[in-house]
Structures are given as C-alpha cells and as structure tokens.
Amino acid sequence: MLRVVPVLALAAALAGLTACGSTAPGTGADDSASSAASSAAQSGTPEPTVGTEQATSAAPSAAPQTETGHVIAVAVTAGTVSGETGRVVVELGSEVRIEVTADTTDEVHVHGYDLTVDTVPGQPVTVEFTADIPGVFEVELHESELLLTRLQVQ
C-alpha cells in the first residue's frame, strides 16, 4: 500500500497541472477563432462603412466582410507580399473573394479548390468562390512560388 500513496498523489497533482496546461493555449486558440467568427457574424448587423456586395466590389482596396462573404486583399510588390498575409478564418459555405494586386504577370492559385486567375501588373484581379471544402488552404502565386495567404474554412 505504501506504493499506492505517492502514485495517486502524483497523479492528482499532475492532473491539475495538465488541466491548466491544456486549457491555457486552448482557450487562446478558441478565443481567436471565435472572435474571428463572431466578427464575421457581427458584420451582418448594420455597420456604417461596410455595405452590400456591390459596394465591396466597388471598393477594391478595402477588405471588408459582407453578410455572406469575405474579401481578402493582398498585394505583391517586388516579391514582397502585403495585406492579409496570415491565416484568414471564414465560415464553411460563405462566399470568398480574393483580390490580388501584383506587379508582375503570374498566376494566382487557390489550393484545394484548384482555382486560378492570371494577374495583370498593377491591377487587382479576383477569384470568387463558395468556401465549401473544410480545411486550411494556401493561396499562392504559381510562377514566383510566393505564398500569398492562407484560408481557414470551418
């Protein structure tokens, strides 16, 4: 029986530690995901600057979220990517519009969805699609092999 006591005590102590350890990062991840999701949801409520679909397509440089869609804008200048270059969270089934303004002739490729569009130097080109495949997907420039952004569909 002497052996049992330290085992159980240690188990209890570690169980406490573990619970803390796994909740801390977990909550963080959850927060960021849910905040992104909720900001998407909130965009359905009236917001002065963001308008309808037509309004977003008329304002190419902004990256607003409409009621059902997301606009992700990135620009490539001399091999440097700017704009939403991290990982963008969108809801499964929502409309996604990716706008790429590059200074070279190249091909935008949305992985997984296998969509492509040729860039026109200095002018924004767009890829629009319904995000109906769950997962994390990269968007890249094919020729220059430049990662533009990542799309998280959930």
Partner 1 sequence: MTSDRAVWTDAVLAHGVGSRADLPVPVWLAITGGACAVIVSFAALGLLWPEPRLREDAGRPLPVAVQVAVDHPVTTWVLRAVVLVVTVVVVLVALAGPTLPEANLGVYGFYITFWVGLVPVSLLLGPVWRRVNPLRTLHALLARLTGPAPGADRLDRVGMWPAAVALLLYSWLELAYPGRSQPSTVGLFLVFYGVVQLAAGLWFGPGWFARGDGFEVYSTLLGRLAPIGRRTDGCLVLRNPLHGAEGTPPVPGLAAVVVVLVGGTAFDGVTRTQWWQDGPGRAGDSAGLFATLGLLDTVGLVAVLYVVATALSGRISGTTGGPARYAHSLIPIAAGYAVAHYFSLLLLDGQRTWRLASDPFQTGLDLFGTAGNLIDYTAVSPRLISLVQVGAIVLGHVLGVVLAHDRAVRVAAPRRALVAQYPLLLVMVAFTVGGLGLLLG
Residues that bind partner 1 (CB under 8 A): 3-4, 6-8, 10-11, 14-15, 17-19, 21-23, 25-27, 29-30, 32-33, 74, 79-81, 85-87, 111-112, 114, 133-138, 140-142, 145-150, 152-154
Parallel, antiparallel, or unpaired: how do β-strands 95-102 and 107-110 relate? unpaired
Q: One-letter amino acid identity for 86?
A: G
CB of 39 to partner 1, least distance (A): 15
What's the Cα-to-Cα distance from 9 to each of 46, 133, 149, rounded to whole Å? 55, 47, 48
Distance separating alpha carbons of residues 59 and 125, to the nearest angstrom:
13
Q: Which is nearer to partner 1, 54 or 114 (CB)?
A: 114
Q: Which is nearer to partner 1, 4 or 48 (CB)?
A: 4
Query: 97, 90 in Cβ contact below 8 A?
Result: no
At residue 45, the 3 state secondary structure works out as coil
Q: Which is nearer to partner 1, 99 or 140 (CB)?
A: 140
CB of 33 to partner 1, least distance (A): 7
CB of 88 to partner 1, least distance (A): 10
Q: Which is nearer to partner 1, 7 or 46 (CB)?
A: 7
Structure tokens at 53: 């679909």
